[in-house]
Every structure is written in C-alpha cells, then in structure tokens.
Amino acid sequence: MAMKTAEEHEVGISCFISDLPGFRGILKQRYSDFIVNEVDRDGTVVQLSSLDAPQEEPESFQENGTNTSDNVVSYASQIESFKSLAGDSDAVLLEEFINKINAGGEDGVSPIVLSPDSDKSHRKAMHNFFKENFKFLVTDVVDGPDASSKCIRVRLNSAEPNNKGKNSKKRKERGDKPFDSRGSENWPKNVGKFLRFHLYKENKDTHEALGVIGNMLSVQPKSFGFAGTKDKRAVTTQRVTVYKQRASRLASLNKRLFGIKLGDFCYVKEGLCLGQLLGNRFTITLRGIVADSEDIIKASADALGRHGFINYFGLQRFGSGSLPTHLIGAALLQGEWKLAVDMILDPRDGEKSAIAKARKYYKESSDVVGTLKQLPRYLVAERAVLQTLKTSPGNYLQALKSIPRTLRMLYVHSYQSYLWNHAASKRVQKYGTENVVLGDLVYCKENSTGKVTESVGSEYAEDCSGRYDSNNEDEISGEIHEEIDSVKVVDVEDLNSGYYTIDDVILPMPGSRIKYPTNHIANVYEDLAKKDGISLTESVHNVEDFSITSITGCYRRVFQKPINFEWELLTYSDSNKQLVETDLDKVNKSKPMGTVKQMGAANGKNEEAFDCIRELESSNDVVKVENYSEIAGEEIKLPHDESLSGSSSQDSQIALKLSFTLPASCYATMAIRELLKTSTSVAYHKTLNQ
C-alpha cells in the first residue's frame, strides 16, 4: 500500500494563537515566492554574491596539486584472478572500488563489504590474496546477515606509506568505524583543509543537491558539512564546507549544474556542523490574496508580528514528499529493522513515474541490483540501503546504519517532533496562550546566557558527532549540560512574582536527560509513546543511534515571535511574473549580457529541451535532470519556476510579501499557517491554483 503524506492534525498541528478569521493566500505558487537565506552565528545573512573562484588560488596548489590521476596502475590481471577466488559479483564490486580510488575519489571512498562467507579457510585465502596483490588495501571481518556467516570488509590501508600518507592513529581514535579515506597529505599546510562555499538551490533539498555535487566530484556525502537542511520547494542559500577540494574545481561545475549554483568560496580550518547557525531569513510572497477586507489582512499581519505563532515542527519535518518519517522513526525505536527498511523503499503517493516504477519493481521482485539501476542517485537513503543489501542480504540493521548519519537520525528526530507537537497542542488547549501555569517548564532567567537562549529548539545538537564519523560529543556536552541545568519547573512563588511570561514556556524533545512538565502535559508524551509500543525510559535494543535513551534531548519554545518582521501588500496582474529578486537574479544583473544563450535557437534544440524540462518542473515531485546540458548540447538558463496554475491572468491581484528571521529549527510555514488559518500542505495549496 502506498504511503500518504501526513496531514497537520496527524502530527499534532491543530491550534492557533489568535482568533482572527484568516484569509485566502497561495503559498509557494512559484519557487521564488519562498526565499530562504541562512543566518550564521555572527548574525550575517548568507547570500550568493559571486560564482567565481578566487582569482588567485594559493600558489602551493600548483606545486602540490591534489587528486592527480597520472601513473594510475592497472589491476586488471589481479581482479581477474580475484574473480576465480571470490566470484563475479565481488570482483565487479572490487573493480568499481579501485576505479573510484584511481579517479581521484579517495577523499570519500567508503569501504566495501564482500558477500557473506561462512568458510573460515576461504576467508583466510581472501585475506592473503589482498596482502599479496593489493598492498594499498586492508581487510577485516564484520558480521554477516546471520549468526553463522561473516563478511570481509575492504578499505584503504591507513598505514600504507604509498597511500598518500594515510595515518593509522586517526583510525584508532575512530574505534572500529569504517575508515574514511578523506584526502592526501600533500594538501598545502598554509591552506585550510575545508573549502567553504555558498550553496544556492532551487526546488531541491539540501541532501539531494549535495548528492549531485558529490557525484560530480566523486566524493561521498560525508565529505560535506552544513549547518542545517533547507526547504525543497524554495529558493535557498546556505553555507557548505567540503573537505580538501579546490575552489576552481567547484566553480567549474556551475555551467553543468541545473537548479544549483556554487559561489563565494574561501578556505577554512574547520568544517560546518549541524546546528552551527543562528537561524534563517525568510522572504515569502503569498499570492492570490482574498479577504473580506484589507483591514483583516493588516490586522492579521500585525498580530503575527506582535504575538507570533505556535512553534510547531512543520509538515516538512515529517516528509512532505509523501514519506511519513515519524513512522519510520517509531519503527527504529521499536527495533523493527525490516519494517523500517520496507517503509524507506516502499511505493509512495505522488512520486514521478520512474521512481514509482522502481519502487514497485523492488516490492514485487526484491531484485536489489535491478532496482539500483533504476533509482536516481539523489535518493541517498534508498540507494545506501540497497547497496548494503546487495552485499549483505537480509542485514537490515546494517543497511539502516549505512544511511548517512545526519539523514538517518532525522527519522528519530521526526518521532521526537511528533510527540512535541502533540504536547504543544495540549498545552494550548488546556492552559491557553496568555499565562504561565503551575508545572510549566521555563529557562531560569538568572542562569540564562546568550548561548543557552540560542540553543533553544536546536534539535540537531547531538548530530555533530556524526560529521566525518568523528566523535565530538565531548566538545558540545558543555552546551547541552548548561541548557538542561538551566531548566526549572514553575512553582507558586514564580507565579506570584510574575517573573516568567508565556514567551518563556518551553517543552522538551524526549531524551535521556530532560525534565518533563509536572502538569498534565507530561502525560501526552507517555501516552502517545506507549500507544506506539515505545518506552521513553528504556530501550528494547542496544543500537544507540536508534534509541531514545541514548539521545540527550533538548528543549524548544512553545511560542515564537518573528524577528525583524516586515510586510507589504503588492499588486500584480501576471501570475507567472516573479515578484521578488533572488540572489542569482542579483548576480546575473551584475554580469554582462549575453553570457547565457537565449531560448529558441535556429536549430530548435534549445526550445525542445526547455519544453522537456518545463514539463518536469510542473509536477509536485520533480525528476532531477543532472545532465540537462546533454539534451540541448549547450547551457540552458531555465526560469526559476513555473506557476502551478500554468496560466497568467490580466486581472489585478493582491500579494502579501513578508520578511522575517526565525531561530534555527523554527518553521516559517507555521507562521504562515497562523496568518491564513489554513493548512500548509502542498496538496491544499495546489488546489488554490485550480
């Protein structure tokens, strides 16, 4: 049965602050109607201002260039011998592994796991073969899909002197995690090991965009660092870091990237980690405004600025692309590994036919290899799961662990968010939106610091430990301890003093070290989790990544006011007209005309390609055309997006433009919901265009 996108009430979104009537308005009619610019910890709004690499790359790059492909050794004869020892499938896997290394992708080549092997003597022969024929590789043994079998894992040799200086000390520090061969020691010492750049994207989520870039660079997703994921159906700009890559190499990708641009490059010493941002600046245009009077629009906008909104986790948190991520999170917390894998791979409503066909094919055939051939690369979680099942059939836990940590943890965070939303709604329903009540949780004002305030609602705090498979928990534990120790339960003395207001009320994201309110709201968490067969105090398995008792937990404000809030009414007559400039528009305005060829070339190829891409753009889940330049034979500049209605009207219409900043992990769609008093689901807003 195909999965369906969650409705707001199903994930606990059910209340409003104000009793104003609301009005009609279309959210995200065009991608450029929803613009997001990251705000870094210094309060600077991140913008795309240049697509060019620095004019002068460090001189030492010329002397110590990296990723050279000269003198690549062929191992064809060794692989042929290996085929007779291990079989065709493992030989193909090994050949692909070595090709990635030879292609300059050693910075992000993950280990491979060979087919299950219960014969110890045969495994010994395999180990010896690698020692004799592939000195730059090393092997060890990991558990197979069942108790009687083992699998040989192959990775780059961390101690091999000719392997560009990989050092074994780092691997020992990482424990028994797969070794991540991330670069060469000949990187210039005077240059930061991370390239930071601004990622501009249209109608793509962050993981998908980085998957495309990583594929073009031949590096794994773990090579990238970013502070937070951004909306898919939007135009967004954010900071990203990548390990040991040259700016000129990334800048050269711009002419081949579709809906993605890279710019504002600089070299830094540290990579970005999830949560390292102050918030996001939103520029949102609501089209087709219809209200009983202009006064209602003005009153609603003013009320939003004064009182804010209920700080729900928006529908995006739960998989707006028809993936109920909180249900996957529940399966992981229950230890139902196969169920979780099935939910990730099963057919879903509303997907493009090619993807739907691939999912249906796997559901009916269980053919891993055949499904992998059909699934596009940007489906990171699905491909990671299938790649592991390809080498370790039936090992569903290992398949789940193969998903990049920052991505797989979103499933667990989604379930935490599901509980939090329901608790927030119960808090509003039972106690209202005006006063603090006995048993509420608040931050102790006398102990609060800017650091603590900033971390409120930063559900990504624990995720820093997943970057590059390193363990940085000790580096952030002080912030977590400080946040948790600064929380108190409101008592009678607090109520009498009037020291705390409704803006101070917080609720916990469940974890091992958080407090719960001492009023009726605490029961919401326990009752919902119990209904799902989950204990918030005990784990049914020993897998830390998927255990609620292994997550520290954090807190989130129940009510949030928009920062630097501005609004204005606009009039327009063409529904296809873009009303707000994007970062890329501003960059292109500063460049000389004629740098991009126009549509409708004499040979007609451009027009045909444009029509093809425009057709893809018009649906909900867009098929990404990574090599669209091959269709037309030259670069095409596609308009940012097409109107969902696909038509233009000459009648004058009203739009409401909103600009405001929100702290990290707050959802602008929830502010819009408070304004309009309608659902923020994509399906609902599509109906407004019909």
Domain that residue 202 falls in: 194-277
> DSSP 3-state assignment of 57?
coil
Give the number of other Cβ atoms within 10 Å of residue 425's Cβ: 20
Instruction: Please list the residues that pair with 662 across neighbouring strands.
Output: 280
Active site residue 440: no
Mean pLDDT of the 179-204 span = 78
Q: What is the DSSP letter of 562?
A: P
Q: How far apart (Å, rounded) are the C-alpha atoms in residues 210 and 216?
A: 10
Tell me, yes or no, whether 201 lies in a domain: yes
Copy the structure tokens of residue 273.
């980690």
Asked whether the CA dihedral 492, 497, 502, 503 is positive or negative, the reply is negative
Mean pLDDT of the chain: 79
Tell me, yes or no, whether 474 lies in a domain: no
Asked whether the CA dihedral 118, 123, 124, 125 is positive or negative, the reply is positive
Which residue in the list 205, 231, 545, 583 is annotated as catalytic? 231
Tell me, yes or no, whether 599 lies in a domain: no
Residue 280's alpha-carbon distances to 35, 37, 421, 454, 457, in angstroms, are 10, 6, 21, 13, 14
Backbone angles phi, psi at 34, to 5 degrees: -135, 95
- Counting the structural domains of the chain, the total is 1
- Tell me, what's the pLDDT at 321? 57
Q: What is the DSSP letter of 317?
A: G
CATH of the domain at 254: 3.30.70.3160
* Span 253-294, pLDDT tens digits: 999 999 999 999 999 999 999 889 999 999 999 999 999 999
> DSSP 3-state assignment of 531?
helix
* Span 503-554, pLDDT tens digits: 999 999 999 889 999 999 999 999 999 999 999 988 888 898 898 888 889 9
Per-residue pLDDT band at 441 (split at 50, 70, 90): very high
Tell me, yes or no, whether 4 lies in a domain: no
Which of 116, 148, 83 minimizes the C-alpha distance to 388? 116
Which residue would you say has higher pLDDT here, 410 or 418? 418
CB-CB contact of 25 with 287 (8 Å): yes
Q: How far apart (Å, rounded) are the C-alpha atoms in residues 261 and 148?
A: 50
Tell me, yes or no, whether 223 lies in a domain: yes
Tell me, yes or no, whether 241 lies in a domain: yes
- Tell me, what's the pLDDT at 73? 59
Mean pLDDT of the 351-358 span = 88
The residues, ordered by sequence, that sit 6+ positions from 527 with a Cβ below 8 Å of its Cβ are none
State pTM to two decimals: 0.69
Residue 369: pLDDT above 50? yes
Q: How far apart (Å, rounded) are the C-alpha atoms in residues 155 and 164?
A: 14
189: buried, middle or exposed (CB in 10 Å: 19+, 13-18, 0-12)?
A: exposed
Residue 484: pLDDT above 70? no
Least confident of 97-106, 259-268, 308-317, 548-557: 97-106
Burial call 37-50: b when 16+ CB within 10 Å, e when fewer:
bbbbeeeeebbbee
Tell me, yes or no, whether 169 lies in a domain: no
Burial call 51-75: b when 16+ CB within 10 Å, e when fewer:
bebeeebbeeeeebebbeeeeeeeb
Q: Is 159 left (phi over 0), alpha (psi -120 to 50) or beta?
A: alpha
Tell me, yes or no, whether 100 lies in a domain: no
Query: What is the SS3 string spanning 623-659?
Result: CCCCCHHHHHCCCCCCCCCCCCCCCCCCCCEEEEEEE
Percentage of residues in the chain with pLDDT exceeding 70? 75
Residue 626: pLDDT above 80? no
Mean pLDDT of the 422-428 span = 97
Report the amino acid identity of residue 248.
S
Q: What would the DSSP string read from start to end of 374-388?
A: HS-TT-HHHHHHHHH
